[in-house]
Structure formats: structure tokens, C-alpha cells
A and B are shown apart, each in its own frame.
Chain A
Amino acid sequence: MELLFASAIGLLTAGGLYLVLRLRSFPVIIGISLLSYAVNLFLFGTGRLVVDMPPVLQKGVETYTDPLPQALVLTAIVISFGMTAVVVMLALGSFLSSRDDSVNIGPETPPEQENEA
């Protein structure tokens, strides 16, 4: 189970990293979203994985899930939505203003070209 969880996070990270390194804004946004999933899951995982444990206090139950990472991740999810929304607007604004959704700027990096050797 732990292996599945860890490898899923790793895969999301790898996918996110690859997409973040693309040249157009849309895949970069998708990549950031994948990285957000990975980070949120990772933070959640720091509470260690438990299955079938009550998250809510009940009488006569001694062991619970770790609530702290959950609370932190909950706000992280909402904030990453806010961040995604801002980045989407930035990408959209720059595309509408310049008709170009390339993420790289600079005189030596024309939108249609590779900027690196």
C-alpha cells in the first residue's frame, strides 16, 4: 500500500515536472496542478497511512487518524486552487495581450524557437 502511494506521488511529480518544462502556458498550468496533487498527497502522507480509522472523535475509540496533516492539506488544496486561478488568468491575459502563449520571454528566445542548445 505504501509503495502504491509513494509511487503514485512520484509519478504525479514526474508528470508535473515534465509538463512544467514545456514551452506553452497551458501544459505548464496542468503540470503545476499535477505537482499540487503530488505535494498535497505527500503532506497528507506525513501523517502516515491508515485505513478504516475514525477521523472523528467517538466514545470508546482510542486510535484515530492524524488530524494535523489533514487540516494543513485542506487549506493547501483551497490555496492551490487560488494559485491555479491566478496563474490561469496570467496565462490568459498574456495570451490575449500578445497572441502568444509561450512562457519564455526575451529577445533571444523567439516564441517559435528553441531557446536552449
Chain B
Amino acid sequence: MENAGGFLPIIAVLPFLGALFPGLMIQAGRNTCAAFTAAPTILALILLLLSAPAVMRGDVLTFGIDWLPSLGLNVNFMLDGLGLLFAGMILGIGLLIILYARFYLSREDPMGQFYTYLLLFQGAMVGIVLSDNILLLLVFWELTSLSSFLLIGYWKHLPEGRQGARMALTVTGLGGLAMIAGMLILGDIAGSYDLSVILTQKDAIQASPMYLPALILILLGCFTKSAQFPFHFWLPHAMAAPTPVSAYLHSATMVKAGLFLMARMWPVLAGTPEWFWIVASTGLITMVMAAKIALFKDDLKALLAFSTVSHLGLITMLLGFGTKMAAVAAVFHIINHATFKAALFMTAGIIDHETHTRDIKRLGGLRHLMPITFGIATIAALSMAGVIPLNGFLSKEMMLEEATHTVWWGNPWLVPALATIGTLFSVAYSLRYIAHVFFGPERSDYPSHPHDPGFGMWAAPAFLVVLVIGIGVAPFLVEPLVKVTAGAVTGGGLPDFHLKIWHGLTLPLLLSGLAFLGGAILLALHAPLMRLWLATPRPEAKVIFDGITRAATRASTVLTDGVHNGALTRNGAIFAVTVIGAGLLAFTGGSMAEATRAPLPITMLPAIGWLLLVLATICLVAFHRNRFLALVLMGIVGLIVSMGFVYLSAPDLALTQISVEVVTIILLLLALNFLPRETPIESSVARRMRDAAIAVVGGVAVTGLTYAILLRDFAAESISVFHLANSYKGGGGTNVVNVILVDFRGFDTYGEIIVLGIAALVIFALTETVLKGPGGRWLSTWKAQRYAEAGDRHPLMMVVATRVMMPIALMVGAYIFLRGHNEPGGGFIAGLIVAIAFLMQYMASGFAWAESRQRVTYHATIGVGVLIASVTGIGAWLAGRPFLTSDYGYLHFPPIEEFEWATAMAFDTGVFLTVVGAVMLALNSLSSMARRTGETVNVFPMDINPARNDAPSEGEA
């Protein structure tokens, strides 16, 4: 039956797909909306039932596709008895809830949203119980936290709803985080994230030293989800949700997810003393404590909420016992609790809906007014109390039976006694639900006159009550399901057992009788006990939770605002200190090998260069407030760096650096034209000392690092050897640097020119935006603030000189470009040189004058450059080789000497054009600002021309 597993992903996906419809279908009416919500649920349920026979025979259906196999995250689904039971409950009760909610929600409630959230939640729950991969399970687990948040906070206008939703999300979300860690550890121990593998690794997991951490972390997830002490407090607050949500989340689904996971992991995690102590104790404490609180809650839903917590504690305790029969009892009680608790929540909803109150103090005497509701609620509540012959009785007896076999703190009587006390309280609050709501005198002051609701609303709880009676009277009907589920939980090897009502006069029956008697007495004494309860101070979970939340919020605000207050300088300082700290950590944490290279001798020339660099840098920092002077000094630094490259055998770098230097300085000069000329003194002395300290430490660190690297050889062999060996053979060029750029690492260069082009376009776009905004308006009135300028803006000598130099400069550019493959040069450098050649014209005669004589736009130049590079790269495909593979050969034109051609040359042309376009576009953008200030455009190339007869004034257009 392996192929039947093909249904599993469909079952898991159906609710998610279905979630798309309610929001749309609400336009067609509320019935249609509900029908479209029910349809995917029914479909999924049918598919599940089709798969059921195989599971009941003992098969495990599986389905798997690889999603991220490298992470161990695969879409693997599995359906065994446990999954079948839970999926059946989720979908079955889900269907009843959909029906119930159709009549429960009022016209003002956005029903489409409700059903969408509900289906999302349903899908997440189904995903949890069908997952075979624990990472996939975690994904669904988090989805339940998120979708239950939406459901609990459905009534957005109610502050309790919002707070309850937030609390539920915080608690279950934090638990989920812990569980992620636990699951990762577990997967690490087992060597796989697939449950089917993990479940076979019991011995390895329990022997691992990481067993206890993994156990605790996973249990944190389970306990928060299943509202176990001390995380139980979120569940009562989640009662602010609409009742269908409470009925769904707190009977069959959300809170059972924790139990499900404990049951799922039972074969590998249970059976150790740690498991027993943590799980059984938590369950026991939760059961007794919550049962006691439930007795004193006047809100119907709060009563049911704490009773839920109590019953969850009961099941947790049974799972914690670690024996197989206890697991059977747990499974059986999961089924029984789901039936009676969902029915009870729905009756509470009906009462609320009809009387407009859930306060027990304002209710009573409803038995004649709402006979149907009375009947349903009574049967369900009696089952919760554990009365013969309802299903709650059966599982409670099994629980007491198991409790009598359990020794806790070395005492065989402690657990049975506490379990009986818990049961006693359970009887008391269950009876109270009946007695104080339905019995007693009829009242005249109900907020709304109650009567039974329509069939649609009581049909769902009535169906559940039929199950309650049916399972109670004829437990053999569910016995196969319980057996196959318990078999899946325990990993098989169950003792032979039969579910039956009458076991004879046993100790559990005696304890049950005691509990019933005690419960009835408690109820009789309820009024004085309630006064005592109210008089006793007790910790209020919400106050503590809110306090912790506030403290955490305050701490994070202080931290975030402290680090990230919008001040770039502070971020910069923190960044610098962090980097230095990280470096220091690495330095102290590692060891350093002995120096292997002998230092080069210091000669006169580099010493002079170094001295100039040091002087220029110090002066630059000292006089940086004079911005013009700072630029000059920066130019000096750049020049010395270029010369350093020459000295250290890197002519390509020297050429690039010096041309970039020229362009950068021109750019900064243009910008400075509009910026203030001086930087004011703003920082305090202390602040400057602090910055200086950071700077000095950073400088010393970089010096040390560089010095250490320079004196040591490569740790591994450098790939440069390959480049040197293959540059000529493979790339057809002797200038290895250029061959690396256009061939070996051509793809990098391709990316670089695109980035450069984008940078230029960004500059252009920024300029346009600024000029259109307030900046542009301000610029047009800027003239008044202009500084004194030279009278002769376009001097004769400069114009003439640049005109003469233009062809020479272009020739140099072409030369540098052409020889680039074999000698220092290439597209980058040639592009910069040509750009500088253009710039000289612009400087001499003004940007506007030069631009009006130019026919190609810079945008196009950039685009064509990138295109040429791309086409060259694609060309390699035509030859059946990867992108950017280059080829070369030789041409011979007599009488000229032999020429080498290489496709890399075409690529370099693209680089060249992009660089020219990008540089010119950047500068042109800046100059367009100058034109906005009303700067005149000259008609003539130079202001004063002896060959012209006109007056020596500015020629204005």
C-alpha cells in the first residue's frame, strides 16, 4: 500500500489551498463561505479515511520528496496510527467547528477572515501530525503559533483579545524556539532529521550526553504549547477568542500538539528517569493545580480553560509514566477529552450567545429555558467528571489504575492520592458547570432572555455527545483505533488489553467513588470556599507576564536606541570598535607562525615617499577643516600611492590610480563648489580624543596585521602560479594583470563594469531628483551667495593648450588600450585617460559649451559598453563554450608587423566604453547643478580672443 501515501501531501495542502476561498466567497453570502470552508476539510477527511484501512492494518504510509536535502529538510509525510487519530480529530472536529461557527458568528464579524484563519490553522495542525521530517514539523509548528495568534486575536476591537493573542504567541513562540534547538540536537544525535530514522535510534539518543539538553528543550516546546505548569497561564487568556476558536484550539488541536509531540517522541525519549521526573511531575502538578483553580472560576470559559489545562496535565502525566499501558490510557483520554471538551466549549458558546453572559453568578435555572443545551452540557460535563457509563469514566479509571502503580519520591501512595485529589476537583467543577448554570431558580435578570438555539448551532455538540455516550457504552468500537494509535506511540509490543466499563470492584473504582463523594461535598461547600479563595493572595500570571514583557521591551529599547539613534558617527564608532575587537579576539585566540620572509632593505627613494605620505596625511587630518586644502593634500596622498605602485612593480595599478586620482579630485572640486568651504568645530575635546583613540588603535592594528602578513609566505599555494603559466598559452597576452581582468576573471570584471554603470546612473538620477526638489529651487537663487570668481573663466592659454593636447591624449588612450593585453594598460586605464582628455576640454571652455558639441549621450556609451561586453561573452556560446571564454589568433598585414587579435579585446572595448561613459556621466551630472545656478553658457570657446573684434566681455547666450 505504498502508493496510498500519495494522498498525504494532498491532505496537508488542501486546507492551505482552501484558505484562499473563504475571503473571496464571503461576497456570495455566509452559507457559501462556510460551504467553501467545509469543502476542503471534507475532501481531506475523505482522503484520510481512504488511507485509514491500511493504517488500521498496521501499515505506515509514507510520502517523500527532497526539498533541501543538504539541510536534511525534506517534504516527508508519514501516516501511522497516531497521525491518523490526530488528523481525524483535527479534520473531524474542524468540520463541526465550521458548522458551529457559521451560526455563532454575528453579521458584524468578518466571516471570510475567520474561515481563512481557521483553515490556515487546520492546515498547520494537519502538517504537524503528518510530518515525517522534524524540520518540516517545526515549520508547521511555528505556523500553528502564527495562525492561532490570528484566531485568538480575531476580535481585534477587544483589548483582551489582542493581549491574549500576544501572550499566546509569545509563550508558544518562545517554546517553539527552544524546540527548534532541541530538535536540531536530536537530529544531530540520530544522524537524520527523519522521524522514521530517529524513532529507531532510542539507545543512541538516550546514551548521548546531549540527551538531557535535547529533552528539556523539546519539552519546553511541548509544555508551552500544551499549557503545562508553569506555562499554563496563556490558555485562560486565550479565551478572549470567539468560542468556536476556543472549542477548536483547546479541545482537539493546538494544545494537543504538545501532547502529540510527546507521544510521537515517546519511543525514543521516554523510559528514562529524567523523562519520568520532568514529564510525570509536571503533568501531576498541572493536573491538580489547574483543577483547583477551575473550581473557583466564575467565567464559564475560564472554568473550561482551566479544566482543559488540568486534563492536559493528566495526559502529560500518563505519558510521563513511561509504561505502555499508561500510554494506552493517554491515547484513550486524548480521544475522550476531545469529544467532551469540544462539546462543552460549544455549549458555553451557546449559553453566551443566548444569554449574553458567561458569568456563572448571573446564570442558573436554565434547564427549562434551554432543555437541549442542558441535555448536551450535562452529558458532556458528567463525562468530564468521570461518571459511569460515559467515556470520561473509562479513561479516568485507567489513569487511576496506572497511578496506583506509580512510585513517586519513594512513596507508592503519593501519586494515587494526588491523582484522586485532582479527580475530586474535576468532579466538583464539572458538577458546578451543571448545577450553577442549569439548576437553581429561574432568574428574571438574564442580560438577554435565553432559549435554545437553532439546530445548526446545537448539531455539532449533539453529535459529539453521541460519541461521548457511544464510546462509553461500547468502548470496543474505538478499541482498534486506540490499539493502533497506542502501538504507534509505544513502538509496538503492547500487552493484550480490552477497553471495558466494568473491571470489578477495584482500587481505582474505590478512588473514583471517593473523588465523586468529595467533589459533591466540595460543591456543597462552594460558597464559603469561594470566599476563602478570594481572600487568599495568589500570584497573578498576567501581571508577572506583563512585567517581564515590559522589562524586556525597555531593555531592548535602551539597547537599540543606544546603538542605533540615527547618528551615523555613533554607528561608525561602534562599527570600528567592533571590527577592532573582533580582530583582537582572533589575534589573541590564534597563534602566529614565525616570520619566513626577509624584509626588503629601506632605500632612500621609498623613505622619501613614505615621509611625504606621512606628512600629507597628518596635515590632512590636522587641517581638514579647510576643505580646499584638504583636497590638495588628498591629491598628494593619491600621487604618492601611485608612485608606490610604480616602485613596487605594479605599473597597471599606478596608471589606474593616477588617472582615478585626477577624476576624483575634479569631482570633489565640483562638489565643493556648492558645499561650505570650512568645516566648523563642533565636537568637544573629549569627543575628538575618543575618535583619535579609536583611529590610533585601528591604525596600529592595521599596521600590525599588514606587517605580519608581509613577513610571511602564503599559507597555501597561490593560484597566481596558474595565471602566470596560462596567461600567454591560454589567454594570448603577456600582461597577466590584464589577462586576469578580461579573461580569467572576466566575469568579475563584467560585474564590475555593470556596477560602475549603475553607480553613474544613480548619480544621474540623484541629480535629477535634487534639481527637481527644494535643492534645485534653492540653487537657482544661489547666485547671491557666490564667492568671488576669476574674471576670465575660460582662459585663452588653457583653451589652446587643451585643443592641442586633445588628439595627443586620445592617441595615448588608444595606445594604452591596444597594448593592454601585452603591456601595462587596458580598457580601464584607457577609459580613464580618454575621460580625462574630454574633461580638459570641459574645463577649458565650460561643460555646456563642450556638451553642445557632443553627439553621443553618456547613457548610451555606458549601455553600448555593457552590451559589447555581453555580446563578446555570449559569442563564446556560439563556439559551444561557456560564457566569456576567450579566443585569440594572429593577423598579418604586410608591410605592417604581425597583429594579435583576441576576443578579449572586444570585451576590453566594452570595459573602456563603460568607464568613459560612467566617469563622464558622473561629472556631467555635477556640472548640470552649476548650470542651474544661472551660470552662463558661453558662445565662444574662450572669453578673450585676440582674433575677435568684440569687447572683452563674457559672451552670453
Residues of A at the B interface (CB closer than 8 Å) are 1-30, 33-34, 37-38, 40-42, 44-58, 64-68, 70-71, 73-75, 77-86, 88-93, 95-97, 99, 101, 103-106, 108-109, 112-116
Contact = CB atoms under 8 A, between A and B. Distances in A.
Nearest to B706: A6
A25 B624 CA distance: 12
Contacts of A116: 567, 569-570, 687
Contacts of B601: 1
Nearest to A116: B570
Contacts of A10: 699-704, 706
B404 interface: no
Contacts of B926: 88-89, 92
B717 to A, nearest CB: 12
Given A44-B648, A81-B663, A92-B929, A74 B741 contact: yes
B653 A77 contact: yes
B808 interface: no
Contacts of A8: 610, 613-614, 644
A82 B918 contact: yes
Contacts of A17: 576, 691, 694-695, 698-699
Contacts of B759: 82-83, 85-86
B763 A74 contact: no
Interface in B130-182: none
B620 A30 contact: yes
A22 B760 CA distance: 27
Interface stretch (B60-68, B340-348, B770-778): B770-778
B774 A97 contact: yes
B818 interface: no
Interface in B676-703: 676, 679-680, 682-684, 687, 691-692, 694-696, 698-703
A38 B664 CA distance: 16
A48 to B, nearest CB: 6
B96 interface: no
Given A9-B702, A10-B699, A10-B706, 20 more contacts: A1-B601, A10-B700, A10-B704, A11-B614, A13-B695, A13-B699, A18-B621, A26-B672, A26-B676, A28-B568, A30-B624, A40-B641, A49-B648, A53-B649, A55-B735, A56-B736, A68-B718, A73-B653, A78-B660, A85-B667
B548 interface: no
Contact of A26 (B656, B679, B724): B679
B828 to A, nearest CB: 6
Contacts of A46: 709
A58 B668 CA distance: 40
A75 B651 CA distance: 14
Given A21-B573, A57-B724, A78-B660, A91 B671 contact: yes
B652 interface: yes
List the 7 closest pairs (A to B, CB-CB), nearest first: A14-B699, A106-B566, A10-B703, A96-B775, A1-B600, A82-B759, A67-B736
A2 B711 contact: yes
B728 A57 contact: yes
A50 B779 contact: no
A80 B648 CA distance: 21
20 contacts: A4-B610, A6-B707, A8-B613, A12-B637, A21-B572, A21-B573, A26-B679, A29-B668, A34-B620, A44-B653, A46-B709, A52-B649, A65-B648, A67-B737, A70-B650, A71-B745, A75-B752, A81-B663, A85-B922, A105-B567
Contacts of A16: 695
Contacts of B567: 104-106, 109, 115-116
Secondary structure at the A interface, as helix, strand, loop or mixed, is helix
A37 B723 contact: no
Given A41-B641, A101-B676, A23 B682 contact: yes
Nearest to B694: A17
Interface of B: 565-570, 572-573, 576, 597, 599-603, 606-607, 610, 613-614, 617-618, 620-621, 624, 627, 630-631, 634, 637-638, 641, 644-645, 647-653, 656-657, 660, 663-664, 667-668, 671-672, 674-676, 679-680, 682-684, 687, 691-692, 694-696, 698-704, 706-707, 709-711, 713, 718-720, 723-724, 727-728, 734-738, 740-741, 745, 748-749, 752, 755-756, 759-760, 762-763, 766-767, 769-770, 773-776, 778-779, 822-824, 828, 832, 915, 918-919, 922, 925-926, 929
A67 B734 CA distance: 11
Given A15-B620, A85-B759, A54 B720 contact: no
Contacts of A52: 649
Contact of A82 (B573, B748, B760, B823): B760
Contact of B613 (A11, A30, A45): A11
A15 B543 CA distance: 54
Contacts of A80: 660
A100 to B, nearest CB: 10
B828 A9 contact: no
Contact of B565 (A5, A6, A65, A109): A109
A2 B566 contact: no
A92 B700 CA distance: 33
A8 to B, nearest CB: 5
Contacts of A2: 599-600, 707, 710-711
A84 B695 CA distance: 21
A23 B687 CA distance: 11
Contacts of B607: 4
Contacts of A3: 599, 602, 707
Among B597, B645, B824, the one with the most A-chain Cβ atoms within 10 Å of its Cβ is: B645
Contacts of A19: 620-621, 624
A91 B625 CA distance: 17
A92 B737 CA distance: 36
A90 B926 CA distance: 11
Contact of B719 (A26, A42, A68, A109): A68
Nearest to B922: A85
Contact of A14 (B613, B664, B695, B706): B695
A44 B650 contact: yes
Contact of A55 (B600, B737, B756): B737
A27 B695 CA distance: 14
Contacts of A112: 682
A84 B821 CA distance: 28
A5 B706 CA distance: 8
Nearest to A9: B706
Nearest to A102: B682
Contact of A27 (B656, B679, B745): B679
Contacts of A57: 724, 727-728, 734-736
Contacts of B699: 10-11, 13-15, 17
B709 A104 contact: no
A26 to B, nearest CB: 5
Nearest to B681: A23
Nearest to B714: A48
A114 B614 contact: no
Contacts of B568: 28, 103-105
A56 B762 contact: no
A65 B647 CA distance: 12
A88 B755 CA distance: 17
A64 B736 CA distance: 10
A73 to B, nearest CB: 6
B929 to A, nearest CB: 7
A49 B713 CA distance: 11
A9 B707 CA distance: 10
A92 B749 contact: no
Contact of B624 (A22, A48, A103): A22
Contact of B734 (A23, A58, A82): A58
Contacts of A68: 718-720, 723, 740
Given A51-B647, A115-B565, A115-B567, A67 B706 contact: no
Nearest to A7: B703
Contact of B823 (A9, A56, A103): A56
Contacts of A44: 645, 648, 650, 653
B634 A55 contact: no
Contacts of A55: 649-652, 735-737, 824
